[in-house]
Amino acid sequence: MKLTLTALTALSIFAALVSMAHGQQSGESMGRGRGRGRGRGRGHGHGSGETTTMSPYSCFTRDDGTCDDDGENTCPCPTGFYRCAGRCYTAVTEALFYDAAAERCASLGAHLATPRSAEENNCTAIPALTLPNVFWIGFRGNSSEGAYLGEDGCGPVGNFSSWPSGVEPNPVDNWCVHFGIVLHEIIWAELQCDRGLFLAVCQLDGCYRPDCL
């Protein structure tokens, strides 16, 4: 990623600083011997549970019938949600810690958004186009799994991720993933779940209609 500080907005600088801060922290962690190498082995390796082998596309492709054509809209989402790439999303526009943001999504029958593809990542970032800010998404670090696990129950961050190039994530307990848009790129970053007061994006489990773009 080519960053020129002069071109960044204040918020983008914030997002970039957050990811740099954690870059440093990762270095410390590795110094203490609980770093990246071990994490990666546990997260993507040999059978530490079905979560690690499950395809991100194998779950939450559920059409529960609540979003059928209502006569006016062939692809409705519940009020306040927007449709994108088959799913229904909504933004939490209040700055909250991760757990509170997750509860807010749960109160809407949703969970924090878990982009599993570039397309879903773009869908998740739509609120950031009009609310230039930083948003929690639904991936929480888990030291024993050595991975960021999705709030969708589909296991760790898999083939798709959106970390800035050169940044190795360090998924440990109580660290969570957020994103910002930096120079038109969606950049994921890590922070302690109870340190960042960020907006958030929620995603519905039901209402999945692949024909609804």
The footprint of ligand NAG (CB under 6 A) covers 49, 51, 55-56, 118-119, 122, 142, 144-145, 158-159, 173
Pick the closer one to ligand NAG by CB: 45 or 80. 45
Cα gap 32→134, rounded to integer Å:
30
In angstroms, the first-to-last Cα distance of the chain is: 30
Q: Which is nearer to ligand NAG, 64 or 103 (CB)?
A: 103
CA 10 to chain CA centroid, Å, is 22
Query: Closest approach of Cβ 141 to ligand NAG, in Å?
Result: 8
47 versus 71: smaller Cβ distance to ligand NAG? 47
Burial class (CB in 10 A: 0-12, 13-18, 19+), 22: buried
Structure tokens at 144: 């024993």
> Which lies closer to ligand NAG via its Cβ, residue 58 or residue 107?
58
DSSP code, position 53: T
Give me the least distance between CB of 70 and ligand NAG, in Å please: 27
Measured CA to CA, the distance from residue 153 to residue 15 in angstroms comes to: 27
Q: How far is the CB of 144 from ligand NAG (least distance, A)?
A: 5
> CB of 37: closest distance to ligand NAG in angstroms?
19
